[in-house]
Structure 1
Amino acid sequence: MLPPYLVRRLLLIPLMLLVSLLAVVTAPATLLLAALAGVVIPGQRSRPLRLTTLVIGYLAAEGVALFVLVYLWVAAGFGTRVREPKHERRHYLCVRALLRWIFWMVNHVLRVRVRVEGPAPEAYRDRPLIVFCRHAGPGDSFLLVHALMDWYDREPRIVLKDTLQWDPAIDIVLNRLPTRFIRSGAPGKATVDPANGPDVETQIGELARRLDHDDALVLFPEGGNYTARRRARAIAKLRRRGLLAEAAKAEAMRYVLPPRPGGVLSVLENAPEADVVWVAHTGTDHLLTVADVWGALPTEMDVKMRWWQVPAGSVPASREERIAWLFEWWRQIDDWITVNRVAEGQQETV
């Protein structure tokens, strides 16, 4: 459960600043202990040192980001002009810098390489975009947003779970930018934060309106990270609702959850001028828990991404055609993952 706004501002922010400061001040001793642990404890090798380095680097970046966000708030008239384009752009630059640092650490500390297939960045230039991406593995949403901002110079509008607001920097900056936080309700349900409105699809549609030449609306149609258990539950739910054709299509797809059409349809209806980009990725699919991540280290890991672009004029017109189109693209994404997926145990140990 997410703490109330005042608790997040008055408690979590000072706590995070304190933790960040302690992490930086004690970094030499902590890193030395982590290195010794890798030598002394059998079978650990560089695992403790790598993860400790990553955690310290993230906490340091978090502390710097919080100070920058305070400055940006003051510069925006103590928050009164934060929605103006100039100040919004400054916040996007802050997010870009934070994600660039995280991506650099992941590359150099965890030795993760990202390989991208698809149209060159020039193909997307001066076109509003709707980006539908599969959701699987740790950090894929961060990777996608980093790619859109750093490689394609986009200002993303994101639909994401409200639990990310536990992170103070993410909480502050994304509440100043075009974002919709979805909170989990009863099993199988989701609602938008009541402060933003009660209806998920309506709110997602409003977020998609008036996209300009460098905007990108980001949505994960599956609604959550892929796991085999979630896939089975989602297929069973489709059958209970009498959606037998969709259930059959979902059963034929091995590595994705059945997409939820509601948000997709709302986005397409409210942004008819935008090209649609479909994104598949694989490489961290088998890392479902903290134990999985720990067990995979130290490795050299390749993450593969595939982007497809569909011009706005090629998007089907009717609701039924769009749902069928969504499932067909999701089948194509699943086919690509099936061919390119790196199974657990095939990573190169170093």
Structure 2
Amino acid sequence: MSVPALPRWARRAVTVPVALAAPWALAGAAPVALPAAVARDLADGDGRLWRSRTYAMACAYAGAEAGGVVASAALWAASGPRGTGAARSQRWHHTLQRAWVAAILASARGLLDLRFEAHGLDELGEGPLVVLGRHASLPDAFLPADLFVVRADRPLRMVVKDDLAWVPCLDIVGHRLPNAFVDRAPADRVEAVAALAPVGADLGPRDVAVIFPEGTYPSRGARARALDRLAGHDPALRDRAEGLRHLLPPRPAGTLALLDAAPEADVAILGHVGLEQMSSMARLARSLPLAHPVRAELWRVPRAEVPDEEPERVEWLWQRWEALDAWVDAALAERSVPPAAPAAAS
């Protein structure tokens, strides 16, 4: 599902007041809403307390969102005539991004039992990176933010869906940092792909640029659309896409544009299992508290191993995606967790 596109000022005229009012509204309702949630949870008798956890998490998230909006206004004022693009202001916004993500994830650990286990992060070393990540749920963006911003304190750039611009902190701070909010169905695809170049341009020695090559997380509708798209121009790739059990086929245009914009950067593949349980609010509610940690795995690919020519590079991406799908399948099997049926809509 996508949300209406509005000019930035009009969107923020809606989202910023809501973000500032939400903590007060939730706190005001808590004396009634929270006991009611606890009572219903206790009546269930399963000890999961999913309603109480969800309400408490909503309060914590609303507080972080409001705090981030206020802090972003303070940073705008402190940036002065040089603006938010100046190096000093960029460092401040990176620090705010790190604090915001850390606060939300700390609340999620305590209330939802959300835990991230990372493998391969220490082996990434220094040097600019382009990260190609699996897309399994709407909160996927928090995983690279935790790995690279919170844990490694590395500047992060991301290519994300423009739907996330309706999250005011992501919108305000995200547009001040070199990120891209992309329309999944743009009127001009050439222009949309070209807009990704600044994300990969001039990566510093510790900078990380992240893109999700699938474009969206798996659902029945998204899978059907992807297969139809491939059937129209490459039936052989459609057959390969049919063999993917957990991932959608990669859409190479954005990935190729990002790689072209960052010719010196190595590549890292980011796989994970566990975020599938957040693919919808209904599934998350059924899963609380989360029984398994989110397991993340990173594989670094030296740039010399990435082909230079487009056809070979597309084939390389497909091979990596097929290998990642096999890894996800094995990782889920280790947990004895059957793959979930895709959601009804993306």
Partner of 2:156: 156
Q: Is the Cα–Cα contact under 8 Å of residues 139 and 278 in structure 2 kept in the other structure?
A: no
Q: CA deviation at 1:44?
A: 7.4
> Does 1:20 find its partner at 2:46?
no
Of 49, 52, 61, the residue aligned with 2:52 is 49
Partner amino acid, structure 1, of 2:61 = Y
Of 59, 64, 74, the residue aligned with 2:62 is 59
Q: CA deviation at 1:42?
A: 5.9
1:31-180 to 2 correspondences below 5 Å: 31-40=34-43, 45-77=48-80, 80-120=82-122, 123-125=124-126, 127-180=127-180
Of 214, 230, 234, the residue aligned with 2:226 is 234
Q: CA deviation at 1:22?
A: 2.9
User: For residues 57 and 119 of structure 1, do their structure 2 counterparts lie closer, same or farther at Cα, with a shift above 3 Å needed?
Assistant: closer
Q: Is the Cα–Cα contact under 8 Å of residues 178 and 198 in structure 2 kept in the other structure?
A: no
User: For residues 319 and 345 of structure 1, do their structure 2 counterparts lie closer, same or farther at Cα, with a shift above 3 Å needed?
Assistant: closer
The 3-state SS of whatever aligns with 2:80 is coil
The 3-state SS of whatever aligns with 2:294 is strand
Of the structure 1 ranges 293-302 and 274-283, higher mean CA displacement relative to structure 2 is found in 293-302
1:269-308 to 2 correspondences below 5 Å: 269-308=260-299
Q: Is the Cα–Cα contact under 8 Å of residues 184 and 190 in structure 1 kept in the other structure?
A: no
Over the matched positions of the two proteins, sequence identity in percent amounts to 30
Q: CA deviation at 1:29?
A: 5.0
Find the aligned partners of 1:287 and 1:311 in 2 and give their Cα distance.
32
The 3-state SS of whatever aligns with 1:301 is coil
Q: Is the Cα–Cα contact under 8 Å of residues 120 and 299 in structure 2 kept in the other structure?
A: yes
Q: CA deviation at 1:260?
A: 0.8
Find the aligned partners of 2:187 and 2:162 in 1 and give their Cα distance.
11
Q: CA deviation at 1:317?
A: 1.6
Q: CA deviation at 1:3?
A: 3.2
Of 213, 235, 238, the residue aligned with 1:244 is 235
> For each residue in 1:132-182, what CA deviation from the matched residue of structure 2 results, as whole angstroms up to 9, or x when unmatched?
001002411112222111122211111111111112221111111111111
Q: CA deviation at 1:16?
A: 1.8
Of 313, 317, 329, the residue aligned with 1:322 is 313
User: For residues 232 and 343 of structure 1, do their structure 2 counterparts lie closer, same or farther at Cα, with a shift above 3 Å needed?
Assistant: farther
Relative to the length of structure 1, the TM-score reads 0.88
The 3-state SS of whatever aligns with 1:77 is helix
Q: Is the Cα–Cα contact under 8 Å of residues 268 and 298 in structure 2 kept in the other structure?
A: yes
Partner of 1:195: none
Q: CA deviation at 1:24?
A: 3.8
> Does 1:8 find its partner at 2:1?
no
> Does 1:259 find its partner at 2:274?
no
Of the structure 1 ranges 13-22 and 86-95, higher mean CA displacement relative to structure 2 is found in 13-22
Find the aligned partners of 2:329 and 2:69 in 1 and give their Cα distance.
41
Q: Is the Cα–Cα contact under 8 Å of residues 72 and 91 in structure 1 kept in the other structure?
A: yes
Q: Is the Cα–Cα contact under 8 Å of residues 277 and 287 in structure 2 kept in the other structure?
A: no
Relative to the length of structure 2, the TM-score reads 0.89
User: For residues 113 and 191 of structure 1, do their structure 2 counterparts lie closer, same or farther at Cα, with a shift above 3 Å needed?
Assistant: farther
Of 171, 194, 206, the residue aligned with 2:198 is 206
Find the aligned partners of 1:215 and 1:330 in 2 and give their Cα distance.
24
Find the aligned partners of 2:29 and 2:220 in 1 and give their Cα distance.
41
User: For residues 165 and 311 of structure 1, do their structure 2 counterparts lie closer, same or farther at Cα, with a shift above 3 Å needed?
Assistant: same
Q: CA deviation at 1:72?
A: 0.3
Find the aligned partners of 2:310 and 2:184 in 1 and give their Cα distance.
26
Find the aligned partners of 1:65 and 1:27 in 2 and give their Cα distance.
22
State the superposition RMSD in angstroms: 2.3
Pairs aligned (count): 335
Q: CA deviation at 1:112?
A: 2.1
> For each residue in 1:221-266, what CA deviation from the matched residue of structure 2 results, as whole angstroms up to 9, or x when unmatched?
001011244223212220112x122212212221111101111111
Find the aligned partners of 2:219 and 2:187 in 1 and give their Cα distance.
18
Find the aligned partners of 1:299 and 1:173 in 2 and give their Cα distance.
30
